[in-house]
Homo-oligomer: A and B are copies of this chain.
């Protein structure tokens, strides 16, 4: 599953974010049929945004869609989703959330499951290393991003 096009795109997005000096978290939304609907990365630093986390950026970049378009979809994300991004996945009723890693941060995984969404954690080392490096380098930005 680490080689799923949606996950590869999410990791690419995370790396792009890191290269831009931002919070290195990326995501990608893939339809039930396997089509990439949208992708994005955290834009806190780049756009001075308090809401454009990776999954929110991805949903925003995906654009307006009817509820049926999200049916059976998978949200790939490089990091365990925060409460806001968890809620966004619940709102649009994606079927599955595939998470790169949850060693550096654990978000709303339990709540996603409680709301009937399948959760898969890959424990991907590349994602872990990227986040560890970022948190070590810019702890202030990281704590701001998770409201702590």
A56 surroundings in chain B (CB, below 8 A): 51, 56
Contact of A84 among B44, B49, B64, B87 (CB under 8 A): B87
Distance of A143 Cα from B91 Cα, bound (Å): 11
Distance of A101 Cα from B81 Cα, bound (Å): 29
A91 surroundings in chain B (CB, below 8 A): 82-84, 146-147
Is A60 within 8 A of B67, CB to CB?
no
Distance of A102 Cα from B91 Cα, bound (Å): 17
Interface size bracket, A side: 35 or more
A82 surroundings in chain B (CB, below 8 A): 87, 91
Is A147 within 8 A of B60, CB to CB?
no
Is A106's beta carbon under 8 Å from chain B?
Answer: no
Is B64 within 8 A of A60, CB to CB?
no
Distance of A93 Cα from B84 Cα, bound (Å): 11
Is A137's beta carbon under 8 Å from chain B?
Answer: no
Is A88's beta carbon under 8 Å from chain B?
Answer: yes
